């Protein structure tokens, strides 16, 4: 049986219960059907207004049709996360930037939870995931701002998130603009910051959802840390194969490259110091505490890049840490940890990575 983590990364063909592609416009062309996606110019005010990039009105129709279910599901996820982070006092929860990101990742994980547990993805779960993806991208852009400047946001409100989303250009994506109206976005952000009570069919599965989502968000951060650490080693190699890998997209694809200036000349101990604050972003919150080891794995990846050794030796060390972490994610998803072979690990990162380091020995 294929590892669940490999399926999650590699399967781009899935559709929800209403036969809409889960990835919408990001679906590979071979999996799209005529009429799947309808694009129109954006009528909303701000930077999106009549933009050259269109908005996906077919996705908007589905979101509108399931709006109450979407908000209920988001409230269940946000409420469970707030309870976990506060020790049972969600009313006092004041989310910071990474809290908002983690809640977005709970939404992004929901279709995979439904697919792996139930074999199908409800329409509201698919629509919620598409909406929370935008909040996740916005939070990552704001994270870059906090890491590279003195910007420190005050307490978030629905209005401030909407303003920052507009100001940062997050509402304009790579190929299309956000299809949500100003009113819809405002209501969506309110659930993020105000803790509206949630219900519906997900409420009874909150603990199970939270555990799955906790492993999902840790997995994405661990993939990112592993990618950033490997980049330093690729700079050290300096071979054509290494340079080609440096030009590959970021891992995960919705994250960003963040490394010290003049990365090739940065000594190992400074590389570790650069990555250590990023490792601290891995915060366990699963009710069963099964995600606690991920925080240690993140620190090991950050510090491992600072230890002496050749690029090949350092890669082997990082690969071992990453492999053990992915096995724990697989178990957290309900899969078989023994399925995480070297082949599976390599399928999660840029093709040719292992060969580039093996050829340097």
Residue the block writes with tokens 């050749």: 310
Q: Are residues 233 and 332 in the same domain?
A: yes
Quote the pLDDT of residue 51: 97
Q: Are residues 184 and 138 in the same domain?
A: yes
Q: Are residues 173 and 235 in the same domain?
A: no
> Which of the listed residues 168, 201, 234 is the one where a domain comes to its end?
201
Q: Are residues 197 and 212 in the same domain?
A: no
Cβ count near 111 (within 10 Å) = 23
pTM of the model: 0.95
Quote the pLDDT of residue 124: 96
**pLDDT, one tens digit for every residue, the chain (361 residues):** 589 999 999 999 999 999 999 999 999 999 999 999 999 999 999 999 999 999 999 999 999 999 999 999 999 999 999 999 988 777 778 999 999 999 999 999 999 999 999 999 999 999 999 999 999 999 999 998 998 888 888 889 999 999 999 999 999 998 999 999 999 999 999 999 987 777 778 899 999 999 999 999 999 999 999 999 999 999 999 999 999 999 999 999 989 999 888 999 999 999 999 999 999 999 999 999 999 999 999 999 999 999 999 999 999 999 999 999 999 999 999 999 999 999 999 999 999 999 999 987 6
Comparing CA positions, the residue from 229, 143, 174 lying closest to residue 56 is: 174
- The range of the structural domain enclosing residue 88 comes to 4-201
Q: Are residues 274 and 245 in the same domain?
A: yes
Q: Are residues 195 and 341 in the same domain?
A: no
Q: Are residues 113 and 138 in the same domain?
A: yes
Q: How many structural domains compose the chain?
A: 2
Q: Are residues 78 and 142 in the same domain?
A: yes
Q: Are residues 174 and 219 in the same domain?
A: no
Distance CA(37)–CA(295), nearest Å, equals 40
Which sign does the torsion angle of CA 191, 120, 65, 185 carry? positive
Quote the pLDDT of residue 1: 57
Quote the pLDDT of residue 89: 74
Quote the pLDDT of residue 198: 77
Q: Are residues 135 and 78 in the same domain?
A: yes
Residue the block writes with tokens 């909040």: 135
Q: Are residues 344 and 249 in the same domain?
A: yes
Query: Is the omega angle on the peptide bond into residue 252 within 30 degrees of 0, that is, cis?
Result: yes
Q: Are residues 237 and 348 in the same domain?
A: yes
Comparing CA positions, the residue from 6, 12, 14 lying closest to residue 349 is: 6
> Which of the listed residues 171, 201, 231 is the one where a domain comes to its end?
201
- What's 333's DSSP letter? T
> Which of the listed residues 177, 201, 225 is the one where a domain comes to its end?
201
């Amino acid at each position: 049986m294929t590892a669940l983590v490999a399926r999650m990364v590699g399967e781009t063909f899935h559709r929800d219960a209403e036969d809409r592609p889960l990835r919408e416009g990001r679906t590979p062309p071979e999996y799209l059907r005529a009429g799947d996606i309808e694009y129109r110019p954006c009528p909303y005010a701000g930077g999106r207004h009549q933009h050259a990039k269109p908005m996906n009105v077919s996705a908007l129709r589905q979101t509108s049709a399931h709006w109450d279910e979407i908000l209920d599901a988001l409230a269940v996820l946000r409420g469970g996360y707030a309870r976990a982070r506060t020790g049972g006092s969600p009313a006092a929860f004041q989310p910071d930037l990474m809290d908002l990101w983690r809640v977005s990742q709970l939404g992004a994980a929901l279709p995979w939870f439904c697919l792996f547990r139930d074999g199908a993805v409800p329409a509201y779960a698919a629509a919620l995931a598409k909406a929370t993806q935008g909040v996740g991208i916005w939070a990552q852009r704001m994270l870059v701002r906090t890491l590279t400047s003195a910007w420190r946001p005050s307490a978030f409100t629905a209005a401030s998130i909407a303003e920052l989303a507009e100001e940062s250009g997050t509402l304009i994506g790579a190929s299309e603009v956000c299809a949500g109206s100003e009113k819809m976005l405002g209501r969506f952000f309110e659930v993020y910051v105000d803790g509206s009570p949630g219900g519906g069919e997900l409420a009874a599965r909150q603990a199970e959802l939270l555990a799955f989502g906790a492993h999902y968000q840790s997995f994405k951060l661990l993939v990112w840390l592993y990618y950033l650490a490997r980049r330093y080693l690729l700079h050290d190699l300096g071979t054509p194969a290494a340079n080609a890998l440096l030009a590959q997209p970021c891992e995960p694809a919705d994250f960003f490259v963040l490394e010290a200036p003049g990365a090739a000349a940065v000594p190992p101990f400074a590389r570790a110091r650069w990555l250590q604050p990023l490792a601290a972003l891995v915060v366990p919150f699963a009710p069963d505490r099964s995600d606690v080891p991920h925080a240690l794995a993140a620190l090991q990846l950050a510090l491992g890049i600072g230890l002496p050794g050749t690029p090949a030796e350092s890669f082997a060390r990082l690969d071992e840490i990453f492999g053990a972490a992915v096995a724990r994610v697989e178990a957290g998803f309900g899969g078989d940890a023994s399925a995480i072979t070297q082949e599976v690990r390599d399928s999660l990162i840029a093709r040719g990575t292992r060969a580039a380091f093996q050829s340097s020995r």
